[in-house]
Amino acid sequence: MAMGSFDSRRHTPPMADMNVVPLVDVMLVLLVIFIVTAPLLTHAVKIDLPKASSSANVTKPEHIEFGIRESGELFWSGEPVSLGDLGPRFKAEAQRQPQPELHLRADRNARYERVAEVMATAAKAGLTRIGFVTEPAGQ
């Protein structure tokens, strides 16, 4: 009984699978080398920096409380105003530094047309910070 045979019909082809064990070994060695050498590569220069104490300078710009009722009445910080008077008043407020914010409080049933007129007048006058004020849903 012979161990090797010269019979070509029974010959098995060589295995074509790649052996990744040596590759994994090399990668683990490189990983350990990088973990050990990474802390050594940080070169920190010791500098005695001056110390200063400062606080944040927070300046909140003033805001304009503007109300619109369901009936279409307009209120500037609680006082009644007409739509014709808004242009010059908005223009005067837009010239101030810092520019105040316009807080619109519109009634739930106010017509959108009235709100849009006020916003357009404010935008034409140069006011850039316009926001809507709403009430939380629970109230």
Distance (Å, whole) CA 93 – CA 23:
72
pTM score, whole prediction: 0.54
Tell which residue, 133, 85, 86, 125, has the closest CA to residue 106. 133
Instruction: Say what the pLDDT of residue 122 is.
Output: 94
pLDDT in tens, the chain (139 residues): 455 566 666 667 777 788 889 999 999 999 999 998 888 777 767 777 677 676 766 666 688 999 999 999 999 988 999 989 999 999 999 999 888 999 999 998 899 999 999 999 999 999 999 988 888 776 5
Q: Strand runs (DSSP E) across the chain, as ranges? A: 63-68, 74-76, 79-81, 101-106, 130-132
Q: Which domains does the chain have, with CATH numbers?
A: 63-132 (3.30.420.270)
Q: What is the 3-state secondary structure (H, E, C) of 114-128?
A: HHHHHHHHHHHHCCC
